[in-house]
Amino acid sequence: MFNIVMIGFMGTGKTVVGRRLAALLKKRFIDTDTEIERITEKTIVQIFAQDGAVRFRSEESLLVKKLEDQDNLVISTGGGIVLNPENVVSLKKNGILIALNAPPEVIYQRVRHKRSRPLLNKGDALIKIKELFAEREYAYDVAEYRVETGDKQVDEVVQEIILYLK
């Protein structure tokens, strides 16, 4: 059975939607950020601060390679994973890519009180979100299907994905 891979910008709902989707479809759920924290025994914030973004990206790529031969998973990915085209090739081997999207203002409201996004911790978070969003929007077009989550409840997003998969 194929994997379902959630991609998209930070705060678009990949983890919460992915987890619920996995429970409904009886697939195993993997969140790449959580998995990297488990493997490295560090938080994402610690990896960025102590080892740098390059180390984090290399952990992401190692993990994606490892997941290449696994199936029946729902994989929620970090917002930067698809910036590396090799990761996209690996994720597409066994997986259907679903992109979640939301307007920058909604993303800001969702992530503003969380300290777990090192890329947004410096300066004005809304400006940073808009800049990063503009830079990266193209990368999420690799998905087979895209869902707008800004004005939807989690269950609506999940149902929309299930309908698409039928």
Residue ranges of the annotated binding site for Mg(2+) are 15
Distance CA 93, CA 105 (A): 34
Q: Which of 19, 20, 27, 117 binds ligand S3P (CB under 6 A)?
A: 117
Q: Is 106 helix (H, G, I), strand (E, B) or coil?
A: helix
β-pairing verdict for 95-101 and 3-8: parallel
Task: Provide the minimum distance between the beta carbon of 25 and ligand S3P in the complex, in angstroms, as a whole number.
Answer: 20
Q: Does 18 bind ligand S3P (CB under 6 A)?
A: no
- Name the segment binding ligand S3P (CB under 6 A); options: 19-27, 74-82, 91-99, 138-146: 74-82
- Name the segment binding ligand S3P (CB under 6 A); options: 62-70, 116-124, 137-145, 153-161: 116-124
Give rounded-to-5 percent helix, strand, coil for the chain.
60, 15, 25
In this structure, what token pair is assigned to residue 17?
Answer: 């939607």
**In a 10 Å sphere around its CB, with 0-12 CB exposed, 13-18 middle and 19+ buried, how is residue 30 labelled?**
buried
Indicate the annotated binding residues for ATP: 11-16, 117
Q: Does 104 bind ligand S3P (CB under 6 A)?
A: no
Q: Applying CB under 6 A, which residues contact ligand S3P?
A: 10, 14, 33, 44, 78-80, 117-119
